Amino acid sequence: MEPLNNLGARLRGMAEHYGSGPLVATVLALGAVGVFAVPWKSPPSLLDPIPFVFNTIQFVFNNQRFMNRAIKALKNAPLAKFYLFSTPVFLVSGPQNIQTIFARSHKVGSEAIFEQNVFPILYRMPKEDIRRFAQDKSGRGRRPAPGTEHLPLESRYWLGYERVHSEYLSRTQHLQPMAEYFRERMSQMLDERYALGEWTTASLIDFCRRQVAECSIGAVFGPRIFELNPELLDGFWDFDSNIFVLTLAIPKWLNPGPYRAQERFYAMMHKYVEAAWADLDWNGPAADADWEPNFGARVSREVVKWIKESGFHDQVAVGAMAMLVFALISNTIPTTMWVILEITKDPSLLQAVRKEVATTYVTDPETGTRTIDVEKLVVQPLLQSIFTEALRLHMNFNLMRNVNEPITMDGFTLPKGSMLQAPMLAAHYDEAAWGSSEHPASEFWAERHIKYEKETDETGNATLKRVFVMAGRPSSYFPFGGGQQICPGRHFSKHEILTTIALLVSKFDIEPVGWTKLDGWPSDRPAQNDGRYSGSGAMPPDRDLKIRLKRLL
């Protein structure tokens, strides 16, 4: 899944949470003293005052400043080179080059990133299991890479790993039970926590990190995960805040805190996997159900089953489930925050969204109960446009691929062993692709992806109807990655974010109270992207919004 493929970028972007040390401080003090140093017969390079050191440290510990330099460079040329430690990295921009990265080709891939970083540290995969993946050179595609056609299907581990996620996260029959559980649980939770007719003041960030996250995890992993682990959310957010330090592989004796956070969260996931596996009747109907209360959604059950049946160590299943939680909410929760922020602070937009949501309610003919038709909800034009804008403006990571075979871009041959990075901000903030005379690409505009079409009713009356149309080209918009490695969880992410919005605007009167800093003190400005998360995926707001809610339904 793309959130995991780009985990390295996400983790590096969180580095500002941690101390940088005297060497880092010395190097960063040099500042961004230039953009290009142009070598002979090679793409232009980012200036590196201390070769192999300056750009590496700035990329890791001050990614926001590094990315400002990178984006400036890519405005002058579609390729720019720098070294990340000793690895040559080519920053890539432009629709044609992005399409090359997304093409179904074995010349580029992210397998090495998993083998070197994700698997050993975050999956806790033993060396012999990593070796099995490393020896599989057939790739993730249905057709094996040339020269590997002899490999039996059961030994194509990359394909199996990719397929078990895409199959059970993307297909409608498996998606619907997750979406329905989320809707029911979120509606129930709102009714339980907020008294009818009473005003309540709430922190938007806390609401998303607690209530939305709980419903999301429950929809994919089932309710028993919280029964077994009442402090699961505390454990996850503690792990999430320490995940960058873990990937640095600092010895445990030198910095034990991150390891304790990982041990605590993984112990919870181990308890979940062990209980779900033991309690499920593997000979009964639940074994093929699309949702059941032990594992939750079928994707969780099938991933664990594939790992065990493929002969990998049991601890790998625990790591896989831990990282599925991470992939599930690490980008969805910040994006939900931004969507609610934009709607809440604009009364006219709030009313327009509320009106659109009202058209998606259906009445059960037997019980008379009114509920949201989620499948109808997620295709509403205004909601889709708002969702697209939030992702465009706040998703920020470099799409990473290793070069497995030499490739050509813009007349340059990029060597095997180098890395490609496509900065999302360079594409998503491109004025040529997204800007308009009244609404620059850098600002949120709810109707950027809307056009109006004339519609005539049976009586001949003409009205203007909103239609969702992406304002830019697909190659200029890739919040979920692209190609065969596009994130299969993107469909559920959209369902849960828009369902949350729909329930809030239809059940509550909502009033903004005021902005606060993250420590709770009043703020004199609204939220901006939190620069500490540059390069990390969805950038959360750096300010909280206190809101007043009064439940009407």
Q: How far is the C-alpha of 343 from the C-alpha of 395, rounded, in Å? A: 18
Q: Which amino acid is at 283?
A: N
Q: Please name the residue that has the structure tokens 């903004």.
A: 512
**241 — pLDDT class (breaks 50, 70, 90):** confident
Using an 8 Å Cβ cutoff, are 539 and 334 in contact? yes
Using an 8 Å Cβ cutoff, are 339 and 208 in contact? no
pLDDT at 247: 76
Q: Which helix (H) or strand (E) holds 104?
A: none
Query: What is the mean predicted confidence (pLDDT) over 64-93?
Result: 94
Indicate the SS3 state at residue 281: coil
Q: How far is the C-alpha of 436 from the C-alpha of 434, rounded, in Å? A: 7
Which pairing describes strands 87-92 and 419-423: parallel, antiparallel, or unpaired? parallel
Q: Which CATH architecture has domain 2-116+398-428?
A: 2-Layer Sandwich (3.30)
Write the DSSP symbol of residue 522.
B
Per-residue pLDDT tens digits for 486-502: 899 999 999 999 999 99
Q: How far is the C-alpha of 378 from the C-alpha of 507, rounded, in Å? A: 18
Per-residue pLDDT tens digits for 262-289: 999 999 999 999 999 999 999 999 999 9
**Closest to 499 measured CA to CA, from 326, 383, 393:** 383
Radius of gyration of the chain (CA): 24
Q: How far is the C-alpha of 199 from the C-alpha of 211, rounded, in Å? A: 18
Better pLDDT: 241 or 546: 546
Indicate the SS3 state at residue 94: coil
Which residues fall within 8 angstroms of residue 339, CB to CB, at 6 or more apart?
A: 386, 387, 390, 497, 501
pLDDT higher than 90, residue 549: yes
pLDDT at 512: 96
Better pLDDT: 117 or 68: 68
pLDDT higher than 90, residue 9: no
Using an 8 Å Cβ cutoff, are 523 and 178 in contact? no
Sign of the dihedral defined by the CA atoms of residues 227, 231, 235, 240, in that order: positive
pLDDT higher than 90, residue 207: yes
- In order of 254, 361, 370, the CA distances from 364 in angstroms are 60, 10, 6
Residue 167 burial class via C-beta count within 10 angstroms: exposed 0-12, middle 13-18, buried 19 and up: middle
Q: Other C-beta atoms within 10 Å of 290: how many?
A: 16
Which has the minimum average pLDDT: 136-150, 214-228, 263-277?
A: 136-150
Write the DSSP symbol of residue 68.
H
**Closest to 55 measured CA to CA, from 78, 80, 76:** 80
Burial 473-512 (b: 16+ CB within 10 A, else e): eebbbbbbbbbbbbbbbbbbbbbbbbbbbbbbbbbbebeb
Query: What is the mean predicted confidence (pLDDT) over 259-264?
Result: 96
pLDDT at 7: 45
Write the DSSP symbol of residue 529.
B
pLDDT higher than 70, residue 183: yes
Task: Provide, rounded to the nearest whole percent, the portion of the chain with pLDDT above 70.
Answer: 92
Indicate the SS3 state at residue 346: coil
Q: How far is the C-alpha of 354 from the C-alpha of 37, rounded, in Å? A: 53
**pTM to 2 decimals?**
0.90
Using an 8 Å Cβ cutoff, are 354 and 506 in contact? yes
Query: What is the mean predicted confidence (pLDDT) over 421-438?
Result: 93
Q: Which helix (H) or strand (E) holds 303?
A: helix 298-309
Q: How far is the C-alpha of 268 from the C-alpha of 225, rounded, in Å? A: 8
Q: How far is the C-alpha of 198 from the C-alpha of 380, rounded, in Å? A: 30
Q: Which helix (H) or strand (E) holds 449?
A: none
Which residues fall within 8 angstroms of residue 330, CB to CB, at 6 or more apart?
A: 3, 10, 240, 537, 538
**41 — pLDDT class (breaks 50, 70, 90):** low
Per-residue pLDDT tens digits for 184-193: 999 999 999 9
**13 — pLDDT class (breaks 50, 70, 90):** very low
Task: Provide, rounded to the nearest whole percent, the portion of the chain with pLDDT above 90.
Answer: 75
